[in-house]
Amino acid sequence: MGRDEEAEIDRLPTDLLAHIFTLITCFKDLAQASGVCRKWKLGVKQSLARRERLSFTGWIMDDDSITRLVLPAYNLRELDISRSRWGCQITDNGLYQISLAKCVSNLTSLSLWGMTGITDKGVIQLISRATSLQHLNIGGTFVTDESLFAIADSCPHLKSIVLWSCRHVTESGILILVNKCRKLESINAFGMRVPLNFFTGLRAVSPSLQIKPEGLLVISMWPMQ
């Protein structure tokens, strides 16, 4: 091939490149592709804009890397940034940066599971703009009732929430959440410090509410010996 002869792949239109890049699930590969040339960088950006779901499960991410990927994803509906690898360094600053993305107001599903580096400050900033959320997972974090108050105020369409092992959440936060989020169908309360009999009382507020795990209410209603 001569010096001025264009490679076959370089003849592809940007739209087709973007389609090819949507098939790549490895974010490291996408980052490398973005650095090949200006055309490939544009193709990667367009591919992110087409995605409705992003999951970073299994990847070691930090505030900067996750921001670069989420900001161009204009059509995003589901975002999973669960901590599944040691070394994940997403903090409140990362949540703040994500909250500025145009897609946040259209998110219907968000998972922050196991994000021990975040606090109420970051969660509240993000949740205050995620007004279309239907499914939220904040299990395994150190959030308090303050985050639940923000969720109750900002997420009227919420249908399910995972509070697995959220040991700093109290009855007050859950009660406000159930009272304000009238579409709430399911709460995962495994591993919390909230008294079991409290959850049976929630049925008076929302009779159809599912408390998970399913055996939790059975245990709470078991007569004490």
What mean pLDDT do residues 140-146 have?
96
- Contact criterion met (CB below 8 Å) for 146 and 170: no
Same domain, 63 and 137: yes
Q: Is 53 helix (H, G, I), strand (E, B) or coil?
A: strand
Residue 13 lies in a domain: yes
What mean pLDDT do residues 49-53 have?
87
pLDDT per position as a tens digit, 162-175: 999 999 999 999 99
From 28-37, 125-134, 167-176, 181-190, the region with the lowest mean pLDDT: 28-37
87 dihedral zone (left: phi>0; alpha: psi -120 to 50; beta):
left
Same domain, 196 and 90: yes
Q: How confident is the model at residue 220 (pLDDT cuts 50, 70, 90)?
A: very low
What mean pLDDT do residues 86-115 have?
91
Of residues 59 and 218, the one with the higher pLDDT is 59
The CATH number of whichever domain residue 155 belongs to comes to 3.80.10.10
Same domain, 156 and 115: yes
Domain range for 25: 7-50
Predicted confidence at residue 223, as pLDDT, reads 42
Predicted confidence at residue 192, as pLDDT, reads 93
Residue 29 lies in a domain: yes
Same domain, 78 and 101: yes
φ and ψ at residue 191, rounded to 5 degrees: 80, 10
What mean pLDDT do residues 183-206 have?
89
| Most confident stretch, 8-22, 179-193, 209-223 | 179-193
- Contact criterion met (CB below 8 Å) for 195 and 170: no
d(CA 174, CA 133): 17
Same domain, 83 and 163: yes
Same domain, 70 and 11: no
From 7-16, 30-39, 131-140, 201-210, the region with the lowest mean pLDDT: 7-16
Percentage of the chain modeled with pLDDT above 90: 52
Give the chain's domain count.
Answer: 2
Same domain, 91 and 31: no
The CATH number of whichever domain residue 24 belongs to comes to 1.20.1280
Residue 1 lies in a domain: no
Cis amide bond preceding 213, omega within 30: yes
